[in-house]
Chain A
């Protein structure tokens, strides 16, 4: 049964007043609507405001409003010593805390020419890869929840992913005692060694996650709604990708097989066998595919480490007794690591004292988010949500 359109617009029951006049926007003309998306919007995965200019349902311009989570980490780093800051560094990208800690200590170690024992290097890679798995779990879950009802309830895959992320967080909890922000790295190595039984727990976790990833893939890729909402949506060309400076899975989803772990290996990444997945299409689906393949490569690296973890000390420096214990000579260095979201870089200038003279974070999410104004115009409002989720921004790292 079809309801005549007029009866919806002009209800006649019980209301004798004249019908309301409804003006429709002139879609063919120049009528524009400004729509505020955020700052509290579930698809923003944080606090982010996008001011969208719409023509009908189509976005014609985006203005991004950032800074809601700004804590001025760079000023903070100038006031804290090399011993104090690494734990604070984890609060930039709180979904992948291990990554930013590593970038900071690597920069300081590079200036100070501090050696890191082999076992510590392997442990750093181990936690970095587990962190990538945990972070990608959160990304997949939240992104699919953003696209909501189209995936048959939406929250299903979110809860599945959170369940698997929990397994990795349990590993971190057993290792350092914390679940979100770790303080695992220190100058010259790491703070904690693997406890008894950890390796077996880790093997079981990776086996479980590997099996579950296959489930997610078949669940999503059999779903026509998912395919329609991701394929051909939010295409980033290679040229735009490079000039804006997006990195990580976004860059690899635009056909550039560039991964810092292979292009400029750090922390003994050259010892491990893994491939760098890339997809030429540049759309949301390509970015999804890249990340799903990265799950498997991370699991592959984790297995290689637990199979061949060398014995030896976990740090070349004594344990921390004083906050001004580490002094590094005058100099500057840029250290970068391949985080789950891309190139996390720390540009450090030391003046010989116990604190840095200047520290700059190159947050992967900040540069990745900057691509939004270039790719969103031309899409429908509903696609904005799918595109934003596929970029996977973490606002602690955008705003720093």
Chain B
């Protein structure tokens, strides 16, 4: 599997146009195809290495979930993105596909409040259990108003 073959397969088999340049392939999928895209990346493209998963808060345009995986033999990476509808905070979990998504999804839940459906143990990871709010949301004040943390 080379980078070019991976690009071609993304277009023909998964039916989404590949983006990005060189060995850094990007792909944007709708939310309901998130798990399917991850499975495709792992089993068809050979991207076995899980790099990271994160979320970006685009304010009124909704949250965007981003995951980056890599094929360590063919030396290309795939950055998958999916946009959640404004106001929605649920996204399918890809933990069953990549075990590394376990802690990363917990962190994303902790920081953004995104609920990953299918994650067996979704709880806060970095912040205390009694923390109020999700700090990396743009609506969250830099200086938390909640005692005892302020």
Across the two chains, which residue of chain B brings its CB closest to A370? B103
Q: In the complex, which residues of chain A have a beta carbon less than 8 angstroms from the beta carbon of B40? A: none
Provide the bound-state CA to CA distance between A242 and B72, in Å. Answer: 9
Provide the bound-state CA to CA distance between A66 and B128, in Å. Answer: 9
A-B contact count (CB 8 A): 73
Q: Are B100 and A243 in contact (CB under 8 A)?
A: yes
> Which among B51, B57, B75, B111 has the highest number of chain A CB atoms within 10 Å?
B51
Interface of A is mostly: mixed
Q: Are B103 and A374 in contact (CB under 8 A)?
A: no
Q: Are A334 and B68 in contact (CB under 8 A)?
A: yes
Q: Interface residue count for B (Cβ, 8 Å)?
A: 29
Q: In the complex, which residues of chain A have a beta carbon less than 8 angstroms from the beta carbon of B150? A: none
Provide the bound-state CA to CA distance between A75 and B135, in Å. Answer: 7
Q: Interface residue count for A (Cβ, 8 Å)?
A: 32
Q: Determine if B13 is an interface residue (Cβ-Cβ < 8 Å).
A: no
> Which among B100, B124, B128, B142 has the highest number of chain A CB atoms within 10 Å?
B100
Q: Nearest-CB distance from B60 to chain A (Å)?
A: 14
Q: Determine if A282 is an interface residue (Cβ-Cβ < 8 Å).
A: no
Q: In the complex, which residues of chain A have a beta carbon less than 8 angstroms from the beta carbon of B142? A: 75, 79
Q: In the complex, which residues of chain A have a beta carbon less than 8 angstroms from the beta carbon of B24? A: 334
* B residues lining the A interface (CB < 8 Å): 23-24, 48-52, 54, 56-57, 66, 68, 72, 75, 79, 98-100, 102-103, 111, 124-128, 135-136, 142
* A residues lining the B interface (CB < 8 Å): 66-67, 70, 72, 74-75, 79, 239-240, 242-245, 256, 258, 263-264, 334, 343, 345, 347, 349, 357-358, 360, 362, 366-367, 370, 374, 399-400
10 CB < 8 A contacts A-B: A66-B125, A242-B48, A243-B100, A244-B99, A347-B52, A347-B54, A347-B68, A362-B52, A367-B100, A400-B126
